[in-house]
A and B are shown apart, each in its own frame.
Chain A
Amino acid sequence: MEILTAIKRVPETGAKVSLTDDKLDIDTTSLGFTFSPHEECAVEEGVQLVEEHGGNVTVLTLGEEDATEQVRSAIAMGADDGILLDGGDAEWGPAGTAKAIAEAVEGSDTDFDLLLFGNESADTANHQVGVRVAEELGLPCVTGIKDLDVDGGTAVAKREIPGGSEVYEIDLPAVVTVKEGLNEPRYPSMRAKMQARKASVEQTEPEPHDEGLELVELEVPETDDSPAEILGESPEAAEDVVDVLEELEVV
């Protein structure tokens, strides 16, 4: 089967982020880049499905040229091909991103059976690119998936709810957006990493699209760095511990 997995290059931040002077972006001077855990699971799922059913995983990203680094990381995890939609330095909104991806899929020689996305991007968290791509392509879509089985032309996808999960059966081709916990993403082997550095990544330049959502500025919220509440300094604190567990409804 042919699988497309979409990922997004994002900075790897610590507990606190610093902003650029114009407050329109994160100051990434001392930061590295990655793609989100949701998307790592998407890549891993694609690779596992291909291992099981045969086929290819194509990993796609939209972003600046340096995003090829993340495409290569996905290739190191087992993806076969890479595509960069070179969007330049600007931040693309969800509508434009979805249109660009849909166009790339339509324009591709490959007929994809499955398009895997993260449920939402780690940074802007717009929660809609996967759905919009499905709408653009007229494909069925399920989101927030943490369990996926493919059998022939059908997929059974599960979404977690308190106390259980919702089950969806969909026909392929389809769009599935996934969440961390779907699987345990592999760490790429050193040899795979080496080879991925040499892999070629196809590049195209998509057309930008107007968004109705315009960034004014970013703000770093006041963080709660208050020290831990000390429940006690003896085993008697067990009572308070159980109070906490009860409050969280985990017992």
Chain B
Amino acid sequence: MVLALLEYDDDGLDDVSLQALTLARDVAEQAGESLEAIAFGAGAEAVAEEAGDHGVETLHVAAADALDDYAPEAYGRAVVQCAEEIGTEAVIAPGTDRGAETLSHAASKLDVTMAAEVTDVEVGDSYELTRQRWGGTLIEHSRLTAETNLLTVAANEVSVTETGGDAAEVSSFSPELEDGDLRVQLTEVEESDVEGVPLGEARVVVSGGRGTGGDFSELEALVERVPNAALGSSRAAVNEGWRPHDDQIGQTGAKIAPEIYVPAGISGAVQHMVGCKGAETILAINTDPEAAIIQKADWAVIADLHEVAPAIAEELEARGHSE
């Protein structure tokens, strides 16, 4: 038996759970075992069909009033009990905050080591794993030999496939919680407010350097058009007195980690790049196709930022995106 831990919301199973499910099915097939799953909460029954479509034969729904709100230690306890009850050789969870947290509790309770960030498993006498270190800049090949192999699946590394199977059979499961299992439980969910995004927390950072010639007005206008966006600058611009020191991104300034970083008129000196290495993607605007920043960017526009920035703002407006 291989047991997958699933997370879901009103739209069904989440992406990383589907990825975990795909890997779990691969493990089950290699081991010649059946694939079962566990999900928490009263709404879990709703994903039985989707789970079945991805190869799950039985969906264990751990439902109790106490478990409606996420509680990591209780969830971990439930996973352990479910795994023991059905006699599973592996539990595979999505590599999300909750997945890792729940399975860590389970691992500790079972006194086994959990393997995190797994991308591939070859099942033999032991599990030959491929997993990520260093946020994916290094691959680890390792061997997992626990009585129950617990692993989390690295997000966005496994391509989801479907089997077109029938809806999973729903089996309700009532964990026996112990004192203290509910000491930690989700209290509430807060909506984020988006006013005045600090550089370090912005999802989008637009910044200007020497190429602005000191005129940041177009970049400011662009930032105002994008939610969760902030404006930064290079050290050169700060040294010129064009921007305050607080805006500086780089070695001696702010370190940012946005989803997209848009350096405009910045050559991409090393000292600048260390400030934005946390950015997931980079879209550079620069007139010089040989600038270092172009080598480091995912996308680039080779043109004058004073023309490009207003054009982007206009296009955003035309498509109905506004702050």
Contacts and interface: CB of A to CB of B under 8 A. Distances in A.
Direct contact of A and B (CB under 8 A): yes
Contacts of A168: 184-187
Nearest to A224: B298
Contacts of A8: none
Contacts of B296: 228
Interface string A93-118: 11100100000000000000000000
B15 to A, nearest CB: 11
A124 interface: yes
B105 A125 contact: no
B116 interface: yes
A150 B107 CA distance: 29
B283 A212 contact: no
Which of B229, B281, B295, B301 has the largest number of chain A CB atoms within 10 A? B301
A239 interface: yes
A142 B97 CA distance: 10
Nearest to B296: A228
Contacts of A152: none
B120 to A, nearest CB: 12
Interface residue tally of chain B, by bracket?
Answer: 35 or more
Contacts of A233: 301-303
Interface in B271-323: 278, 281-284, 289, 294-304, 307-308, 310-312, 314-316, 319, 321
A240 B229 CA distance: 19
A165 B300 contact: no
Interface string A219-251: 111000001111111111111111011101011
Interface stretch (B39-47, B51-59, B139-147): B139-147
Interface string B144-166: 11100000100000000000000
A132 to B, nearest CB: 4
Contacts of B32: none
Contacts of A167: 186-190
Interface in B82-122: 95, 97, 100-101, 103-105, 107-109, 111-117
Contacts of B144: 212-214
Contacts of B73: 140-141
Given A131-B108, A163-B192, A181-B200, A142 B303 contact: no
Which label, helix, strand, loop or mixed, suits the secondary structure of the B interface? Answer: mixed
A107 to B, nearest CB: 20
B257 interface: yes
A239 B101 contact: no
Contact of A15 (B116, B117, B137, B315): B137
B74 to A, nearest CB: 12
A159 interface: yes
B235 interface: no
Given A131-B101, A213-B144, A221-B138, 7 more contacts: A125-B116, A163-B191, A163-B192, A164-B191, A233-B302, A241-B315, A242-B319
Interface of B: 70, 72-73, 95, 97, 100-101, 103-105, 107-109, 111-117, 128-129, 132-146, 152, 180, 183-192, 200-201, 203-204, 226-229, 255, 257, 259-260, 278, 281-284, 289, 294-304, 307-308, 310-312, 314-316, 319, 321
